[in-house]
A and B are shown apart, each in its own frame.
Chain A
Amino acid sequence: MDRRLLTPEGVRSLLAMLREDGFRIVAPSLVGGTVSLAEISDLDELAVGLALEVAPGRTRVVPSPAMFGSIGGPESLKRWQHPSQRVIWHGERGKNGFTGSAVVEESAGPVAFFGLRACDLAGARVLAKAIRRPLGEQDLVISVRCTSSAPTCFCTTMGTGPDVPEAAADLILTEVLEPKPRFVATAASERGAALLGRAASKPASAADAAAADALVAKVAADMPVAFAPEAARAALGTPSGIGWEDIGARCMACGNCTAVCPTCFCTTVVDRTDPAATVADRIMRWDSCYTPWFSEMHGGSVRSSISARYRQWVSHKMSWWWEQFGTAGCVGCGRCIVWCPVGIDIRKEVEAAIERSTAHV
Chain B
Amino acid sequence: MNILIIGLSLAAMLFLLSAGLTLIFGMGGIINFAHGSFYMLGAYGGFQVIDSTGSFWLALVLAPLGGAAVGVLVERLALRPVYNREPFVQMLLTFGVILILEEGVRAVWGLDYKDVSAPAVLAAPVHVLGATVSAFRLFLIAFGAAMAALLFLVLEKTPVGTVVRAASADPEMVRALGIDVGLVRTGVFAFGTGLAALAGAVTAPLFPVELGMGFGVIIDCFVVVVIGGLGSIKGAVAASLLLGLVRAGGYGFAPEWVDLLSYCLLIAVLLLRPHGLFGRQRRLA
- Whether both chains belong to one complex is answered with no
